[in-house]
């Protein structure tokens, strides 16, 4: 049927800036580009307003100081670097901490309604790794508020267009349920500039070509390569893979965040997120013996900042200035590993998690008020009333810290005209992201990407790179490959759903929360096999809204990115943040000096089985002295090598081991 008809010519559209992804980063980038006067397209796989950002619960981290006036950008910066174990791109962390408050306040001018303090300011809540109450929030549905606010801002820009041009879509248009499969560049050079993108409409299966000199990737993460995940079907690493294939590089893909608290029962909802706000608002973790086990898992680097006793931890909620915070609020990587260890030691809950209890800590009415969607989620999906009984929770794949290597100021990748913002970009969060730092990241770097993309287009004037017919034809062939299997009768047919399930199991079991060299090597072998099988995945039915076909295409991206994760995980022989090696358990300051950068050896090979991932070690940028000075010298010594410590600091620390040989 579909196959017998000749391929119609793909529709073509010309824009200044094309934003791929309509979550927080994509929408904020599009708003910025449009406000800068550039014609902007937003292309997204789902309907407008459904992006994964809606799942964010806790809040947006910004040091507005509304609840504790001691907060400021310096403290936020410090917390972010600590959370990322000092592997963050310091400049991104600095810009993020400085600009987050204005990005939040701006949302109020778009109509956002955050919860309020008594003075009528935006209320801020406590969260893991944040020294002061810092997260602007709306109950536990902050992501929904963010997405709806930005969505409505886009609509308001369209209404301005309508008044001015009689056309809602004169300057900004949303291409909903449209998936991008390829980026185009001018010329054959690796550093050739971006010229456009190719994709298909999910609804009709028709192809679409965008001619655009600037593209912002805002496609989110990679979680759908793992079996237990809080991520939706969209999280197939599209932007990561598109960037690689266009000749850009990925940074530190070994760092995958396993959120400590996902639902573990019933099996069909395993992985769905239980917000960190439960702990921020007083919830505690207990094992099957009823013990608050987190007190046994405070690592040395955090020893001075967390309470040693339950009594002190409990006092902190009402008197944070004179008490240390409870260890349930350690950064996510620490809590996830602790839960994993408790379960392994046989002290888990019946469904293989631990207990997260808020019922004995807060009044029922407060729980319903502060955590309404958690109350609703457990009631509807698990028949558990969280005001009366504890939840069962365990780690779930939540976020990838690794991503497209970008310039911190402009969010531009190594490819001229290609930008990345939000989860798809790397560097900002180092080896581990703090809760609440994602939504702020989306806003800060979304805006920067949109601004700089617009500036880049402006600087090109009329010298725009062109999309060639040959490029469109090649992209069309690649997208149709899953249907063309019929022409190859001798090949064994494969089912994309089956391959996907095997991929998820492989990544979960072999490149999951705790890793070992021999297991990762096994995963790399298995990924190689899966990639060859995916090339002969067969699709039934036609092109109209066919999820089997969509999955066959997405699978190529998931496999490529999984390979990147596995290679980087095998290379980094230490444990840090979202990368834990059983065979290299400690954090090693020598490894902190290195970013692992991944590229494709033949970027035009479209991610097929013959393209190979290459990895190089690259020095981490050196932090400026004024930023180093924000830390206690004794703390810096836990992360940096002696050679890296500024002379002033090294001299100021009397117990500096003189007998240790000078490294590198």
542 is a contact residue toward another protein (CB under 8 A): yes
H-type helices in 281-331, by residue range? 310-316
H, E, C per residue of 438-496: HHHHHHHHHHHHHHHHHHHHHHHCCCCCCCCHHHHHHHHHHHHHHHHHHHCCCCCCECH
Residue 572: Cβ within 10 Å count: 22
Q: Does 466 bind another protein (CB under 8 A)?
A: no
Nearer to another protein, 123 or 471 (CB): 123
Cis status of the peptide bond prior to 266, with omega within 30 of 0: yes
Using CB under 8 A as the binding rule, whether residue 198 contacts another protein is answered as no
CB of 111 or CB of 290, closer to another protein: 111
Q: How far is the CB of 249 from another protein (least distance, A)?
A: 30
Task: Report in angstroms how near the CB of residue 629 gets to another protein at its nearest.
Answer: 28
Q: Kindly identify the residues of this chain, within the stretch 52-91, that bind another protein according to CB under 8 A.
A: 52, 54-55, 64
Q: Is the distance from CB of 226 to CB of 507 less than 8 angstroms?
A: yes
Among 3, 12, 70, 156, binds another protein (CB under 8 A): 156
Task: Estimate the crossing angle of helix 517-534 against helix 547-571, to 10 degrees.
Answer: 150
Q: How far is the CB of 444 from another protein (least distance, A)?
A: 15
Among 21, 101, 220, 436, binds another protein (CB under 8 A): 101
Cα 221 to Cα 261: distance, rounded to the nearest angstrom: 18
State the nearest-atom distance from the C-beta of 359 to another protein, in Å: 21
> Per the structure block, which two tokens stand in for 239?
């932007």
**Which position among 28, 141, 240, 429 is part of the footprint of another protein (CB under 8 A)?**
141
Q: How far, in Å, CA of 31 to CA of 107, rounded?
A: 12
Closest distance to another protein from the beta carbon of 31 (Å): 13
- The residue count for binding another protein (CB under 8 A) is 72
Please select the residue that binds another protein; options are 39, 153, 240, 533, rule is CB under 8 A. 153
Outline where 608-646 has alpha helix (H).
625-628, 633-639
Which residue, 105 or 295, has its beta carbon nearer to another protein? 105
Residues numbered 121-140 forming contacts with another protein, rule: CB under 8 A:
121, 123, 138-139
Interaction between residue 495 and another protein (CB under 8 A): yes
4: which DSSP letter? G
Q: CB neighbours of 356 closer than 8 A, spacing ≥ 6?
A: 261, 274, 278, 279, 283, 284, 285, 390, 391, 392, 393
548 touches another protein (CB under 8 A): yes
Catalytic residue among 78, 125, 137, 279: 279
272 is a contact residue toward another protein (CB under 8 A): yes
Min dist CB 111 to another protein, Å, is: 3
Q: Which stretch binds another protein (CB under 8 A): 154-162, 400-408, 559-567, 591-599?
A: 154-162
* Residue whose token pair is 């410090």: 78
What separation, in Å, do the N-terminal and C-terminal C-alpha atoms of the chain show?
A: 66
Cβ atoms of 77 and 627 within 8 Å: the answer is yes
Rounded Cα gap, residues 102 and 116, in angstroms: 17
**279 catalytic, yes or no?**
yes
- 541, 625, 630, 648: which one binds another protein (CB under 8 A): 541
Minimum CB distance to another protein, residue 392 (Å): 12
Whether residue 277 contacts residue 127, with contact meaning beta carbons closer than 8 Å, is answered with yes
The single residue among 206, 299, 547, 621 that binds another protein, judged by CB under 8 A, is: 547
Among 102, 345, 466, 651, binds another protein (CB under 8 A): 102
Among 46, 431, 438, 506, binds another protein (CB under 8 A): 46
Among 39, 50, 224, 245, binds another protein (CB under 8 A): 50
Question: Rule CB under 8 A: is residue 540 a binding residue for another protein?
Answer: yes
**Which ranges of 511-546 does DSSP label H, i.e. alpha helix?**
517-534
The least CB distance from residue 14 to another protein, in Å, is: 23
Nearer to another protein, 203 or 573 (CB): 203
How far, in Å, are 24, 417, 613 from residue 21 at the CA level?
9, 16, 25
Pair of tokens at residue 657: 């081991």
DSSP class of residue 612? -
- Shorter beta-carbon distance to another protein: residue 501 or 651: 501
Select the span of 100-108, 183-191, 454-462, 471-479 touching another protein (CB under 8 A).
100-108
Work out the number of other CB atoms within 10 angstroms of the CB of residue 468: 13
C-alpha distances in Å from residue 35, one per residue of 158, 229, 455:
11, 36, 12
Give Cβ neighbours of residue 321 (< 8 Å, ≥ 6 apart): none
**Integer Rg of the chain from CA:** 24
Site for another protein (CB under 8 A): which residue of 14, 323, 373, 604?
A: 373
Query: Smallest gap, in angstroms, from Cβ of residue 172 to another protein?
Result: 12
Of 111, 187, 585, 586, the one binding another protein by CB under 8 A: 111
Is 273 near another protein (CB under 8 A)?
yes
- Catalytic residue of the set 78, 259, 448, 533: 259
Q: Which is nearer to another protein, 121 or 291 (CB)?
A: 121
Give the active site residues: 259, 279
């Amino acid at each position: 049927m579909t196959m017998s008809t000749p391929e119609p010519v793909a529709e073509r559209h010309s824009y200044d800036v094309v934003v791929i992804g309509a979550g927080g980063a994509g929408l904020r980038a599009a708003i910025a580009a449009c406000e800068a006067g550039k014609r902007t397209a937003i292309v997204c796989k789902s309907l407008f307003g459904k992006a994964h950002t809606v799942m964010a619960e806790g809040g947006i981290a910004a040091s507005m100081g509304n609840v504790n006036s001691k907060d400021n950008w310096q403290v936020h910066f410090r917390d972010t670097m600590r959370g990322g174990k000092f592997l963050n791109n310091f400049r991104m962390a600095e810009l993020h901490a400085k600009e987050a408050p204005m990005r939040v306040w701006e949302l109020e001018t778009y109509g956002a309604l955050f919860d309020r303090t008594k003075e009528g300011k935006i209320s801020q809540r406590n969260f893991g790794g944040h020294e002061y109450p810092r997260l602007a929030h709306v109950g536990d549905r902050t992501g929904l508020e963010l997405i709806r606010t930005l969505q409505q801002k886009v609509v308001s820009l369209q209404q301005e267009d309508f008044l001015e041009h009689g056309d809602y879509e004169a300057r900004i248009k949303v291409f909903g349920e449209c998936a991008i499969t390829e980026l185009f560049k001018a010329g054959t050079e690796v550093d050739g500039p971006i010229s456009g993108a190719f994709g298909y409409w999910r609804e009709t299966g028709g192809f679409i070509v965008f001619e655009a000199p600037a593209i912002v990737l805002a496609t989110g993460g990679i979680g759908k390569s793992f079996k237990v995940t809080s991520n939706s079907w969209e999280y197939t690493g599209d932007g990561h893979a598109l960037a690689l294939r266009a000749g850009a590089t990925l940074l530190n893909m070994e760092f995958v965040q396993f959120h400590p608290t996902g639902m573990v029962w019933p099996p069909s909802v395993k992985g769905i997120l239980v917000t960190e706000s439960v702990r921020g608002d007083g919830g505690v973790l207990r094992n099957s013996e009823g013990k608050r086990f987190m007190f046994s898992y405070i690592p040395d680097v955090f020893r001075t900042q967390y309470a040693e006793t339950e009594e002190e931890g409990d006092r902190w909620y009402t008197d944070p200035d004179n008490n240390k915070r409870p260890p349930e609020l350690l950064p996510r990587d620490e809590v996830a590993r602790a839960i994993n260890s408790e379960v392994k030691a046989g002290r888990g809950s019946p469904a293989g998690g631990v207990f997260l209890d808020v019922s004995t800590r807060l009044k029922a009415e407060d729980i319903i008020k502060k955590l309404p969607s958690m109350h609703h989620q457990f009631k509807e999906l698990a028949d558990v009333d969280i005001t009366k009984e504890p939840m069962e929770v365990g780690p779930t794949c939540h976020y990838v810290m690794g991503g497209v290597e970008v310039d911190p100021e402009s969010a531009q990748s190594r490819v001229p005209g290609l930008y990345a913002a939000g989860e798809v970009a790397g560097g900002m969060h180092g080896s581990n992201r703090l809760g609440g730092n994602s939504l702020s990241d989306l806003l800060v770097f979304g805006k920067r990407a949109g601004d700089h993309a617009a500036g880049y287009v402006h600087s090109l004037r009329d010298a725009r790179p062109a999309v060639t017919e040959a490029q469109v034809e090649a992209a069309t062939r690649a997208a149709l490959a899953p249907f063309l299997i019929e022409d190859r009768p001798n090949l064994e047919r494969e089912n994309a759903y089956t391959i996907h399930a095997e991929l998820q199991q492989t990544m979960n079991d072999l490149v999951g929360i705790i890793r070992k060299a021999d297991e990762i090597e096994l995963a790399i072998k298995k990924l190689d096999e899966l990639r060859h099988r995916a090339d002969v995945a067969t699709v039934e039915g036609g092109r109209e809204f066919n999820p089997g076909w969509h999955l066959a295409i997405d699978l190529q991206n998931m496999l490529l990115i999984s390979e990147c994760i596995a290679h980087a995980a095998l290379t980094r022989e230490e444990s840090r943040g979202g990368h834990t090696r059983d065979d290299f358990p400690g954090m090693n300051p020598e490894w902190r000096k290195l970013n692992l950068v991944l590229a494709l050896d033949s970027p035009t090979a479209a991610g097929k089985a013959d393209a190979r991932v290459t990895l190089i070690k690259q020095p981490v940028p050196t932090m400026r002295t004024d930023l180093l000075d924000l830390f206690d010298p004794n703390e810096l010594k836990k992360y940096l090598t002696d050679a890296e410590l500024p002379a002033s600091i090294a001299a100021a620390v009397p117990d500096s081991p003189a007998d240790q040989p000078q490294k590198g």
